[in-house]
Amino acid sequence: MSAGFTFTCDVEDHRPHGAAPLRFPDATRRILEWLVERDISGTFFVVGVEALAHPRLVADIAAAGQEVALHGHRHVPLRELSPDELAADLDAGRKVLEDAAQRPVTGFRAPQFSLTAEVPWSHEVIAAAGFTYSSSVLPASSPLFGYPEAPATPFRWPSGLVEFTPPLISVGGARVPVGGVYLRVLPWSVIRRTLTDQSGHPAPWMYFHPYDFDPHEPFHVVRDANPLFSPLQWIGRRGAFARTAAVLGDRPGAPLCERVSEVADAAVFTPR
């Protein structure tokens, strides 16, 4: 089974509305405890406004030996921002995270993997803001924000920014990233075959949200998602830690900031 996967987590507010109980800080701390018990260090992409509201949580992530990276100051897809708005968003979010974590922030993940052919200029803005790497591209077709023309393995943008693309699971005619709802609901035979197929993928990673490990969260229709898809967000949460452990194996990958050197020779991808 493939080893070397980096654990990554997108820390954002999953609530249907502001009056609902706040769950993601406690869920995030349970994940931290699980990782620390196993001496695993990964990357936590934190939304800036949530860091502003919960600076202690960001400090706890850093104190647990995890990398703190940015998931946008606001959880807004890149296509909804102009270049100037993206630059301001990156600057605001990075300052908040660095103040709370008391360490440099060099990584960025666009909300909903929304770095696509619609926003070919975005990598230049991200690089100019001082980020070393991005983890923002889904190199496959998707009803949301896929970029099927992008390379399937990590690459460099012309700006010099490193892009960590995810290993993909083939399900019928679809290709989806390793992690989240897909890791929870797909048959283990499919996951195991994917791990074997991806054994040569440089710097592989898996992604989650705090709610993936929160089986007691009351059901609600997920914001900005197809209502028919919402029940899937609750399936398999009780087994999420066990499946995560099986994918990470006995040689989990380092935080993404430490894996940039592993893809130093990656080819440059120039958008059309």
| pLDDT at residue number 169 | 87
Work out whether strand 162-163 and strand 43-46 pair parallel, antiparallel, or are unpaired. Answer: unpaired
The CATH number of 6-263, from 3.40.50.300, 2.160.20.10, 3.30.70.100, 3.20.20.370, is 3.20.20.370
**Spatial separation of the C-alpha atoms in residues 90 and 7, rounded to whole Å:** 23
The residue type of 176 is: V
| pLDDT at residue number 33 | 98
**Spatial separation of the C-alpha atoms in residues 241 and 74, rounded to whole Å:** 28
Give pTM, 2 decimals.
Answer: 0.96
Per-residue pLDDT tens over the stretch 137-185: 999 988 789 999 999 999 999 999 999 999 998 887 888 999 999 999 9
DSSP state of 151: -
**Spatial separation of the C-alpha atoms in residues 177 and 181, rounded to whole Å:** 10
Helix axes 24-37, 55-63, angle to 10 degrees: 10
| pLDDT at residue number 1 | 39
Work out whether strand 174-177 and strand 168-171 pair parallel, antiparallel, or are unpaired. Answer: antiparallel
| pLDDT at residue number 212 | 97
**Spatial separation of the C-alpha atoms in residues 84 and 236, rounded to whole Å:** 41
**Spatial separation of the C-alpha atoms in residues 132 and 160, rounded to whole Å:** 8
H or E segment at 177?
strand 174-177
Per-residue pLDDT tens over the stretch 124-148: 999 999 999 999 999 998 878 999 9
| pLDDT at residue number 170 | 85
**Spatial separation of the C-alpha atoms in residues 184 and 237, rounded to whole Å:** 7
Q: What residues have CB less than 8 Å from 35, skipping those under 6 apart?
A: 7, 41, 42, 64, 66
Work out whether strand 133-134 and strand 107-108 pair parallel, antiparallel, or are unpaired. Answer: parallel
Q: What are phi and psi of 203, to 5 degrees?
A: 55, 55
| pLDDT at residue number 199 | 65
257 backbone φψ class: left, alpha, beta (φ>0; ψ -120 to 50): alpha
Neighbours of 162 (CB within 10 A): 25
Give all strands (DSSP E) within 61-138, no chain letters.
Answer: 67-70, 107-108, 133-134
List of the chain residues with pLDDT < 70: 1-3, 198-199, 224-226
**Spatial separation of the C-alpha atoms in residues 257 and 158, rounded to whole Å:** 19
